[in-house]
Structure 1
Amino acid sequence: MHKWILATILSVLVLFSIGLMTLGLPKSEEAESPEEAANTLKIVASNFEFDQKEYRVKAGDKKIVKLQNKRGKHGVEIQGLNVKLEGDKLEQEITFDKPGTYPLVCSVMCGEGHLEMKSVLIVE
């Protein structure tokens, strides 16, 4: 009886492995070139937190602000800069022409910790 259970488990694992090889493993996010990274402000959202407590850019910089949802469904609003990324719109180009500190909040109700999901953008 034990041999039958082991044979079944082994068969399932083999079929699973063949399926992964056939369909391919999930692809990790493509690496950005150094030029793309320099022109991008990437904001990564997980459950109830952003990846940084503060983001910094230089006044006069023109960047593409990108939101990546790592865990959960989130949005981002940079208050005072007319930036709101959510749903199908997860990137926006902006020129940071006014120095200051701008609140950055989650714009999609994401659960119990939603109200504490905050950061700041500092334009120097």
Structure 2
Amino acid sequence: MQKWIFFVLFILAGALGLGVLFQDISNRQEAKEADAASSKIQQLKIVASNWQFDQADFTVKSGEPTKVSLSLKEGVHAIEIQGLGIKLDKENPSKEITFDKPGTYEIDCVLPCGEGHAKMKSKLVVQ
């Protein structure tokens, strides 16, 4: 008889544990979805490889919060967006900013990265 009682208690404890586990996972998923919905900010991802960026021109909308991030595909690089005070490198790869002034800004690699470093430029168009 005691074996049956322990068996039932074991099954109930397992079910309770699974219930708590799935409830916690569900709560985390809901919180993650809420964060994603509330932080719908535009993304500007700049990918740097040896002596070039992945695009010649990048475009963002002015007046909207933007997450600017630098991704290093090849080599070690650091960028500066001239006139906006944005500097990104391996240690600080992203920054959130709201572009207030429409215009065209130059993106430069500011870390000497080899023979093609002087040509490593791109443009940011803020509309």
TM over 0.5: yes
4+ runs of 1 displaced by more than 6 Å?
33-37
Distance change (3 Å), C-alpha of 1:36 and 1:74: farther
Aligned length: 92
Which of 67, 71, 75 is the matching residue for 2:74? Answer: 71
Query: TM-score scaled to structure 2, two decimals?
Result: 0.67
State the SS of the aligned residue for 2:110: coil
Alignment of 1:11-90 (within 5 A): 39-90=42-93
Tell me how far 1:36 sits from its aligned partner: 7.5
Distance in 1 between residues matched to 2:67 and 2:78, nearest whole Å: 16
Percent same amino acid at aligned positions?
Answer: 50
Aligned alpha-carbon RMSD (Å) = 1.9
Alignment of 1:89-100 (within 5 A): 89-100=92-103
Q: Which runs of 5 or more structure 1 residues have no equivalent in the other structure?
A: 1-32
Query: TM-score scaled to structure 1, two decimals?
Result: 0.69
Tell me how far 1:45 sits from its aligned partner: 0.2
Tell me how far 1:39 sits from its aligned partner: 2.4
